A = this chain, B = another copy of it.
Amino acid sequence: MSTIGDVAKRAGVSTMTVSRVINNSGYISQETRERVERAIAELGYVPNALARSLRFKRTKTIALILTDITNPFFTTLARGIEDAASEQGFSVIFCNTDESKDEEAEYLSVVAQKQVDGVLLVPASSSAESVAFLRERGIPCVVLDRRVPDSAVDTVRGDSEAGAHQLTRHLLELGHRRIALLNGPAAVSTAADRLAGYRRALDEAGLGSAARVYEGAYTMESGYRMALQLLADVPRPTALFAANNFIAIGALRALREAGLRVPDEISLAAFDDLPAAIMIEPFFTVVGQPAYEMGQQATWLLLNRLAGQGPTEPQEIVLPAQLIVRQSSAPPPAAR
A interface with B by C-beta (< 8 Å): 1, 44, 46-51, 53-54, 59, 61, 68-70, 72, 75-76, 78-79, 82-83, 86, 89, 91-96, 107, 109-115, 133, 136-139, 220, 246, 249, 252, 274-275, 277-281, 283-284
Contact = CB atoms under 8 A, between A and B. Distances in A.
A112 B50 CA distance: 11
Contacts of A279: 280
A111 B94 contact: no
A73 to B, nearest CB: 11
Nearest to A90: B110
Nearest to A275: B70
Contact of A86 (B83, B95, B274): B95
Given A44-B136, A46-B109, A61-B114, A96 B70 contact: no
Copies in the complex: 2
B50 A59 contact: yes
Contacts of A46: 109, 112-113, 137
Given A59-B50, A114-B91, A278-B249, A82 B69 contact: yes
22 contacts: A1-B112, A1-B139, A46-B109, A46-B113, A48-B54, A49-B114, A50-B53, A50-B59, A54-B54, A69-B69, A69-B78, A70-B277, A78-B94, A82-B94, A82-B96, A83-B96, A91-B110, A91-B114, A92-B93, A249-B278, A280-B281, A280-B283
Given A76-B70, A115-B50, A137 B44 contact: yes
A113 B49 CA distance: 5
Nearest to A136: B44
A329 B275 CA distance: 24
Contact of A277 (B82, B115, B246, B275): B246
Given A50-B114, A70-B75, A281 B278 contact: no
Given A94-B82, A278-B278, A115 B49 contact: yes
